[in-house]
Amino acid sequence: MARTLPYGSWPSPVTAEAVAESSPRIDGALLVGNEVWWGESVPSEAGRVAVKRRTADGRTETVLPAPFNARSAVHEYGGGAWAASPDGELYFVEKSDQRVYALTPGGQPRPLTAADEAVRHGGLRVERGVLLAVRETHGSARVPTRAIVRIATDGSQRVDVLAEGSDFLAQPALSPDGRRLAWVAWDHPDMPWDRTAIRVADLVTGGVAQVAGGVERAPLQPVWVADDELLYADDPDGRWNLFRHPLDGDAQPLAPADADTGGGLWVLGTRWFGATDDGRVVAVRTHGADEIVEISPTGVRPLDVPSVATSSIDDVKGTRALVSGADASGRAGLWMVDLDSGEIELVTGGAGAWSAEWMPTALALETPGPHGPVHAFAYPPTHPDVVAPDGERPPYVVMVHGGPTSHVGPAPSAKTAFFTSRGIGVLDVNYGGSTGYGRAYRDRLAGQWGVVDVDDVAAAASALAQAGLADADRIAIAGGSAGGWTVLAAVTTTDVFGAGISRYGVGDARALAEDTHDFEARYLDGLLGPLPEAEDVYVERSPLSHPERFRVPLLILQGSEDRVVPPSQAEAIRDALVTHGIPHAYVLYEGEGHGFRRSETVIDSLQRELGFLGAVFGFDTPGVPPLALDGGPAAR
């Protein structure tokens, strides 16, 4: 018989330690001969990225052992930090010095690029036997320079520039005959989901031509399907769909759909589709949730891959495809698909430290908002052996993703289960500006950051309470980075939320514009307006401009080495809370950057978040003490 306990106080096996160790992040995957290689974060080793492989006889081995760490710092967010040759040579960017190394499994890394603390590498690809990379060089000027380069693999440390001339370059692809190079380019103030171009260089003549792009066009991921024909994603009609483009003709759409094959190019290794030699294409299609499909001359066939969120088509060779992502139970995995037989095999991941009965099921919601419909996924409290007292409504945490041009799918994370298994609901909101619903939905945030995002999360939370699914007096809001901005703006401009949790959040937009890195240096032009013309908007929208509006308890979590949102922002928020006597806690994690990767940090921050909610909303948290807050009484 089920026990009856108040929401928030349910006992749970989903511990912070289990969350920290569950579902390591998959960071790219490749088919290397008869083996499968993949990158995997190791939380117990300070979040380093190891490269592993499954051998032909089914054994799993580590190719890149500790202490080496495949992490790129290009654009600060990195991506594409490793690649492999068909014969099993590993190439990787070492986090500590950003040099590219080669490693024969079982051997020692050999440097392929010279030591230079001003140079970073990322976006590695082995194309037609050539090692390509995006090189970022930081000089005396604030703005770094970038180029597509060819790196010699013979140990000579020779690096040849193949393309340059734009503020940003990404996703290099070499034609089958090795004559042409295609890549994605964009310039300030645009972001890669606003306006990009695909360019092609003839490496023999040196000529360069633009083959796709334009106003309100953001083509992505060029892939050669012949010596003179490209396949890429483009959004001339507001949805990223695939196009085939012979260089001597016009681009033709390939099976267009009311869904996106494409997204925010935050990291250099992201790939949304791949092509087989016989003309088939495996692609992700996103409208809220992800669907994996095969596109062939005979039509479109859905593939029964479990991935429904953060899906990537990591590699396609022969009749096999590698797909990574998260399934409906929120578990990260890497699957291999045989396109001929239809067999789908789990290569790694897809398992947790607890059974599926502890994982909540996503409820897709579409809520009316002042700026149009708002999309969200609700995860109600879920426990196999405990129910709440009759008439009690659950507390909820509204999760706000970062970006803000990002996206969450219907896949509960282990962190989601950490809360829902204790009787605390979670609401993931894809507010206006999110990807996954087309350009019009993305563009809703143009010039309206701090307005549309706040209105949308407030509308979604209010609708949940009005439907009787949440306790209106016990709704918290939590988010990191740009999501932290929305948290701070929401608690200072609405009365919907009774508490806030900001992880490395933005409190002062002007300070962000001055301090942030080059990739996002002009991002605020589109979100708020260009400076100095829009300075009044920056001041009015910034939560720190109105410290007197802070009135609910806040938990502030920050990494000491964050170069995207420096600790000075969190410290200014803390000081404002102290000045105005608002209950709060501030935690600075030494050695952490923009996002928490170390096991000990994940464990501590989760426990503090739970203890904070218990202290503020007045429920017991078994195994985790209430969090002591500075600045006065916390309970409402």
Tell me the residue type at 410.
P
Task: Produce one character per residue of 104-117: b if its CB has 16 or more CB atoms within 10 Å, e if not.
Answer: ebeeebeebbeeee
Both tokens of 457, joined, read: 């999360």
Q: What's the pTM value of the predicted model, to 2 decimals?
A: 0.93
Q: Which residues contact 282 (CB under 8 A, 6 or more apart)?
A: 273, 274, 275, 276, 292, 293, 294, 295, 303, 313, 316, 321, 323, 337, 339
Per-residue confidence (pLDDT) for residue 594, from 0 to 100: 83
3-class secondary structure, 4: strand
What's the CA gap between 442 and 404, in Å, rounded? 10
Per-residue confidence (pLDDT) for residue 46, from 0 to 100: 78
3-class secondary structure, 80: coil
Per-residue confidence (pLDDT) for residue 351, from 0 to 100: 66
- φ/ψ of 492, rounded to 5, equals -100, -10
Tallying the residues shown for the chain, one arrives at 636
| 145 to 76, 195, 210: CA distances (angstroms) | 14, 19, 20
Which residues in the chain show pLDDT less than 50? 633-636
Give the angle 588-593-595 at the CA atoms, nearest 5°.
95
Give the angle 572-577-582 at the CA atoms, nearest 5°.
170
Contact by Cβ (8 Å): 527, 449: yes
Select from 85, 435, 78 the least CA-distant residue to 272: 435
Helices H, strands E: what count in the chain?
10, 38
Contact by Cβ (8 Å): 386, 358: no
Per-residue confidence (pLDDT) for residue 44, from 0 to 100: 78
Q: How is 474-508 classified by DSSP, letter by letter?
A: SEEEEEETHHHHHHHHHHHH-SS-SEEEEES----
Per-residue confidence (pLDDT) for residue 634, from 0 to 100: 44
Both tokens of 505, joined, read: 């959040």
Residue whose tokens read 């282990």: 414
3-class secondary structure, 551: coil
| 264 to 261, 308, 324, 405: CA distances (angstroms) | 11, 17, 17, 7
Per-residue confidence (pLDDT) for residue 631, from 0 to 100: 81
Per-residue confidence (pLDDT) for residue 255, from 0 to 100: 96
